[in-house]
Structures are given as C-alpha cells and as structure tokens.
Copies of this chain bind each other. A is one copy, B any other.
Amino acid sequence: MEPHPFDDAVALTRQADGRYAGTVPPPYWNMVGPFGGTTAAVLLRAALAEQPAGIEPVAFTVNYCAALARGDFTIDARTVHAGRSVRHVNVEMQQGNGTVSTASAVLALRRPTWAHQPAKPPAVPPPEAVSAMPTDGAPNWLQRYDFRFVHGAWQWQAQPYDTLRSAHSTLWVADKPPRALDFLSLTALADVFFVRAFHVRGTTVPAGTVSMTVHYHASAEELAAHGDAPVLCTVDAHTFARNFGDQIAQLWSGDKLLATTTQMTWFKQ
C-alpha cells in the first residue's frame, strides 16, 4: 500500500542527536510554498521524536519566518527543560542557511483528573448531508482535504464587499484520502482554514500566517477512537487592523473538544 501523502509530508531522517532532515511535500504545495499545516506538523514531529513513551503535546506555537522553497530542510530540536511530567522542547527549521520557522512545544505525561468541558459543539448536519467543496484545479494542498462548509463557505467576489462581513465558518474537514487522526494531522488541521481576511473582504489579498498556537485537549487514545472521520470545526476572528488579523478555531469529535487554536495572520493593504 502506498503511504498516505501526509505520512510522507511528516517523514524525517535522523542525522544526529536532535537533528532531522526532511523534504517539503509537493502534494501539499500551495501558491508560493507548502501548506503551513504540514510545516507545523513536521515541527511537532521533531519535538516529539526523542521523548519518552506516553508524552503528548499540550501546547504548541509555530512562528513562520520565511517562505519555504521546494526541496530539503533540516530541523533542530532541543529539550529546554525536562520536569517530572512536563517537558519543553524548542525546534527550529532551516533551509539553506536561514531559519524558516521556529516552534515551541509543551509536552506532558498527562494523568486522569477531574474533567469539565464548559464548551459545547455547534448543532450541525452530519458530514454526509453537506456537499464537499470542489477542489479540482486548486493548489495541491486543497486537494488533500475534504472541506464541507455548513456555514461561511468562501465565495470569491471580483470586488471587496462594500460592508465587510463575518469571519465565521463552520465546516467538516477530513484528510483526503481518509487517514486516522493523530496529533500530527490534528496540528495540520488547525491551519486548514482559509485566511479570514478573504472571508470578511470577499476577495483574496496577499496574506500569510505569522504565528499559530494549538492547545491540545484530547489524548492519543481519544484521537485514535475518532479514526478517519471528518472533524467538525468552527472558525472566527476578533479583529483586523494594520496588516494583521487574528483567527480562532475549535476542532471537535462529537461532543469532545479535541483542540483549540489561535493565529495571527499578516495581510497586505
């Protein structure tokens, strides 16, 4: 069986202690670089690579410094602090002689405690009742996901809206072809939402994520139990001003909140 393109995208070769080599994945190519979600996922993979069994991600921040070119990259991972149950790992991706992205991961051996989830998922039709967005002819990375918009599908306009609109979307998203959910694919899914500036303006503008933070609320077992079904996502933004807008999103499996994520995204006038 052919490996799933996502597994190729996060493949790393160990070169030395804490140093890994990988290749920018053509199947996830966007317009001027790869989909940022696969970059985030491969950085998290490097952060997790040499950690003890049972260690899971709690918080992960990736900062995108420069566009990645086609070809190879290296990642350096450094365990900054190792406590009894919580570990901090900083990673940095280089291409040529420059740093193209950095990330920090808080990892932990999480144990059973009391639990409480005040947040509730939105009421939505099941994915099979929602039509999939056509992606034929779209950049490669869009063809790697099945997008089913319940609300807030993006409609391209020739001119920006006269009155700027809501940044909200609710959608089902799945890997295409289907792939069992894990922390790496969940991290990529956190970056899968279209730039909110496009939604509020109705047109595309030069834009790119500069920083993404993912907070993980599910265990490896809970992700495995989710399997390869679509993930329900809500996305929104608080504000846009002076070249930057934010993005907030929730990723759900049934009634269970899997992850929350926030971004700051640059846009040009």
Q: Which positions 57-107 of chain A face chain B at CB distance < 8 Å? A: 58-59, 61, 63, 65-66, 80-81, 83, 85-86, 88, 90, 92, 98-100, 102, 104, 106
The 9 tightest CB contacts between A and B, nearest first, are A65-B81, A59-B211, A110-B242, A119-B238, A115-B241, A61-B61, A117-B239, A116-B164, A213-B213
Is A170 interfacial (CB 8 A cutoff)? no
What 0/1 readout, one digit per residue, does chain A (191-224) give for beta carbons within 8 Å of chain B?
0000000001100000000110101010100000
By beta carbon, the residue of chain B nearest A236 is B118
Residues of B within 8 A of A266 (CB): 86, 108
- Counting every copy of the chain, the complex holds 2
Q: Which residues of B contact A11 (CB under 8 A)?
A: none
In the complex, which of the residues A65, A112, A236 has the most CB atoms of chain B within 10 Å of its own CB atom? A65
Chain B binder among A33-41, A137-145, A243-251: A243-251
For A268, give the chain B residue with the smallest CB separation.
B113
Identify the closest chain B residue to A247 (Cβ): B215
Closest to A92 in B: B80
Q: State A172–B268 Cα separation when bound (angstroms).
A: 34
Contact of A262 with B by CB under 8 A: yes
A81-B98 contact, Cβ under 8 Å, with A114-B201, A213-B262, A215-B262: yes
The answer to whether A88 and B65 touch (CB under 8 A), given A58-B264, A114-B269, A210-B58, is yes
Partner-B contacts on A (CB < 8 A) = 58-59, 61, 63, 65-66, 80-81, 83, 85-86, 88, 90, 92, 98-100, 102, 104, 106, 108, 110-119, 164, 166-168, 200-201, 210-211, 213, 215, 217, 219, 236-246, 248, 250, 257, 260, 262, 264, 266-269
16 residue pairs of the A-B complex, CB under 8 angstroms, read A81-B100, A86-B266, A90-B90, A104-B104, A110-B242, A113-B267, A113-B268, A116-B164, A117-B238, A118-B167, A118-B236, A118-B237, A118-B238, A211-B215, A213-B262, A238-B257
Minimum C-beta distance from A45 to chain B (A)? 19
